[in-house]
Chain A
Amino acid sequence: MNEKYLPLAATIVVFVALFAIGGILYNNFVSTLVFGDLLADNAFVIIAAIGTTFVIISGGIDLSIGSMIGFVGVVMANLDVVGWHPLVSGGMMLVFGLVYGALVGLVIDFCDIQPFIVTLAGLFLLRGSCFMINLDAVPIRHDFVQDFAAASIPLPGEGELHSSAIVMLIALAAAIFIGHFTRFGANIYAIGGDRTSAALMGVPMRRTMMGIYAMGGFYSALGGVIYALYTSSGYPLAGTGNELTAIASVVLGGTLLTGGVGLVAGTLFGGLIFGLIATLINFNGSLNGAWIMIVGGVLLFLFIVLQRFLVGSFRLRSAA
């Protein structure tokens, strides 16, 4: 097997193992019902994480995801109050995410500033804007929210593929297409692998950087739209800390923080692993919620060590 699929394989193995552990511990755990809910509950983070995957593959980072999720929700809720259809306000926020991301990419490339700082500024900016608009949760009462929540495709067994999971899978398919079957996608990997070389090889740097962060912005805005519809409200603190969950999902999915290596599909499983840990601990009932973070932290740590060895094994051979 090509070694680039090794981390993805490891992620899938961990996911299946966790699922099996659940099946051994609890009746009815291995069912499409649990699986459908798992996909739906984590759809918004995974969507945002998919966009971040590109950013991280390019060697960058995006810290403004959580704030974007909150901001999108707050704006949609307030536009709902004045009578906008959620699809219209949601569409507008997607455009906003795209433009916002493109600007972030432009600043990073044009001013040659670390993505960490630029997107950290974005984190404060967007979260601050949330509070400017609203201090409290505002419900989204439009009928569409109920229609959206009700829409689903039945799965064999009792489970359903909820609308948010469907959106997530479509977003994933689009991302896989962009990442692996377009020149733009190949350019992202090239920039993450070696920025200077990529430029010398003729990769259009500015355009690609703007595209990468525009995608990051678009996907986190989409995550925000799904979250707003899923919770049928806009809350200024929504999504707090989700940027870190998204980054962790990307890393668990086998993408290297140093850039150049990773698969979009891995992020789906990385995000699902986090979701599965939460589900397992909820099933137990007696365990403290803190265990979700502790187990997640341990897994993340193990994965980073694993990656170090995998990457080391083929990088060292080339260094002579």
Chain B
Amino acid sequence: MTETATARIEMRGVSKIFPGVRALDHVDLRLEAGEVHALMGENGAGKSTLIKVLTGAVRRDEGEIQLDGKVVEIGTPGEARALGIGTVYQEVNLIPTMSVTKNLTLTRQPRKFGMVNWREAREVAKARLKRLNINIDVERPLGSYSVAIQQLVAIARALDDDTRALVLDEPTASLDANETAMLFNIIRDLKARGLAIVFITHFIDQVYQISDRVSVLRNGRLVGTGKIADTPPLKLISMMIGRELEKTALRLVGNAKTSDAPVVLEAEGLGKRVTMQPFNLKLRAGEAVGLSGLLGSGRTEVAKLIFGALKPDTGRLELGGAPMHGSSPGASVRAGIAFCPEDRKAEGVVGELTVRENIVLALQSKRGWLNRLSRSEQERLAAEMIKALGIATPDAEKPVGQLSGGNQQKVILARSLVAGPRVLILDEPTRGIDVGAHAEIVTLIRKLCGQGLALLVASSELDELVAVSDRVAVLRDRQMIGEISGADITRDNIVHMIAGAKS
């Protein structure tokens, strides 16, 4: 890294306001030539907005951007490119059905007499790949190559002779260890050529492997920038999560003894390549187990693997002592596992159906369409649940889409509960819910455990996990790294474990 008077890129006081949200609040970011600069932050911290401002995909409301000391205006992705700022987006944004050559040369194919000269285009494509030491058949469709190769092709497309800065948005998200190592070699090589590289990732380990400096964003503000050598993991994580670590949230409920209760669900060596390393997990009746970890650490993946929404390729799962054969959401529901997904709009409620219809949905599908629940039975169940969970709705016939977020969440919960599950998996049960409803749902979780239900709660809110869990399984970088139970469940302990300072 060469620390000079003028940075390669200097963003000063950049703000962006979306309707209702201040996505970026006077953020400064300084990128030097020849450095790998990690950009970190939890969901909604403003990382992608900042990157989009830099690459012209979003227009900033305030602030200025300097490139090698000169103020520049970046209005479109094309302008950013012309200025030498290349971007590789999170999902490989290329065309899988087209050949590598066509992907690398799209919209700027060499032409002769108005005709695309494909022979020359192939040479251009090969030359671009050669800069990254890749040698592949450029005539094959891009989609026939591994994600790692596709990622490299995307980088090759983003790199021009005059590229001065390269933005990599979670380039390693779907790569395995070898592929990541290969990518890092290329990043080091590009760094040696004097490019400023912005590296966004959720993998803490990778930040320490490859970056020179790190900037942390939270709630649209820059929390700080520092040399990676001066920023130990614990400090980095507390910068990301935000609150002071000393403050320990109180556990809401001292829990009844559950350690001798029967094991309801047991996962042994359950895992899926790239997505989640094999893990072991036991759930006892009446026990609430929390899944904790940073964004992208594998919380949701664990929940989905157990429910069968993701197909595991290793390990096995036992429910009530009997092995589960095959894994599909349908089989899980029949076996008594219920799952409340994180994104309730996309995967959960059916907004147009009424509260009653939503509540009986799972039970009805469990019984099969021939064995229809009578209307009066449906009404009785709905009324019971509305009362038990305190769903605020004028009546059971209101479309769920018109309820508040917290009440929609409760409807999903009700739907899972009427089917009478033995295991309930909640993924981010309080996301997008106001404080009052939040507390109610936490209390509800405790109450359900009291009734003998085994609960698995994946959450990004440490306080919530501390409040509800009897045990917390801690995840980092798609690996289950340890468990904390009983009185040891504190914010501090969880954060320390995530940071790897203690295990």
Contacts and interface: CB of A to CB of B under 8 A. Distances in A.
Interface of A: 2-4, 177, 180-183, 185-187, 189-190, 192-194, 196-198, 200-203, 259-261, 314-315, 317-318, 320
B146 interface: yes
Interface stretch (B60-68, B91-99, B466-474): B91-99
Given A181-B116, A194-B94, A200-B89, 7 more contacts: A3-B144, A182-B114, A186-B98, A186-B109, A201-B93, A314-B143, A320-B274
A188 to B, nearest CB: 11
Contact of B95 (A3, A181, A198): A198
B111 A183 contact: yes
B107 interface: yes
B371 to A, nearest CB: 35
Contacts of B142: 318
17 contacts: A3-B141, A181-B115, A181-B118, A182-B116, A183-B116, A186-B116, A192-B97, A193-B96, A193-B98, A194-B94, A194-B97, A200-B57, A202-B77, A260-B97, A315-B96, A317-B146, A320-B174
Given A193-B98, A315-B96, A320-B274, A4 B141 contact: yes
B372 interface: no
Contacts of A198: 95, 106
Tell me if A's interface is mostly helix, strand, loop or mixed: helix
For the complex of A and B, 3 pairs with smallest distance between CB atoms: A193-B95, A260-B97, A193-B97
Residue of B57, B143, B174 most packed against chain A (CB within 10 A): B143
B323 interface: no
Contacts of B102: 186, 189-190
A2 to B, nearest CB: 6
Given A2-B140, A182-B115, A318-B145, A189 B95 contact: yes
Given A183-B116, A202-B78, A320-B147, A190 B95 contact: yes
A194 B89 CA distance: 14
Contact of B77 (A182, A194, A200): A200
A185 to B, nearest CB: 8
Interface in B51-95: 57, 77-78, 81, 89, 93-95
A125 to B, nearest CB: 32
Interface string B145-168: 111001000000100000000000
Contact of A202 (B107, B145, B146): B107
B414 to A, nearest CB: 35
Nearest to B121: A186
A318 B107 contact: no
B97 A201 contact: no
A2 B139 CA distance: 8
Interface residues of B, number: 35
Nearest to A2: B139
B436 to A, nearest CB: 38
Q: Tell me whether chain B's interface is mostly helix, strand or loop, or mixed.
A: loop
Contacts of B144: 3, 314, 317-318
Given A181-B116, A183-B107, A187-B106, A200 B143 contact: no
Given A190-B106, A202-B77, A320-B174, A315 B94 contact: no
Interface of B: 57, 77-78, 81, 89, 93-99, 102, 106-107, 109, 111, 114-116, 118, 139-147, 150, 157, 174, 273-274
A180 B101 CA distance: 13
A185 B140 CA distance: 18
Nearest to A182: B116
Interface centre among A3, A182, A186, A260 (most CB of B within 10 A): A186
A320 B102 CA distance: 23
Nearest to B149: A318
- Give the most central of A4, A193, A196: most B CB within 10 Å: A193
A201 B114 CA distance: 21
Contacts of A186: 98, 102, 106-107, 109, 116
A197 B95 contact: yes
Contacts of A2: 139-140
A305 B96 CA distance: 21
A183 B106 CA distance: 8
B116 A200 contact: no
Contact of B107 (A3, A193, A203, A314): A203
A169 B99 CA distance: 27
Among B95, B96, B102, B141: residue with most chain A CB under 10 A: B95
Contacts of B106: 186-187, 190, 198, 201-203
A271 B236 CA distance: 64
Contacts of A190: 95, 98, 102, 106
Given A183-B111, A314-B143, A189 B174 contact: no
B143 A315 contact: yes
Nearest to B174: A320
From B94, B97, B98, residue with most partner A Cβ within 10 Å: B97
Nearest to B107: A202
B94 A197 contact: yes
Contacts of A261: 97
A198 B103 CA distance: 10
B147 A318 contact: yes
Contacts of A189: 95, 97-98, 102
B107 A194 contact: no
A56 to B, nearest CB: 13
B89 A318 contact: no
A242 B481 CA distance: 63
A240 to B, nearest CB: 33
A113 to B, nearest CB: 22
Nearest to B91: A197
B94 to A, nearest CB: 6
A207 B238 CA distance: 49
Contacts of B141: 3-4, 314
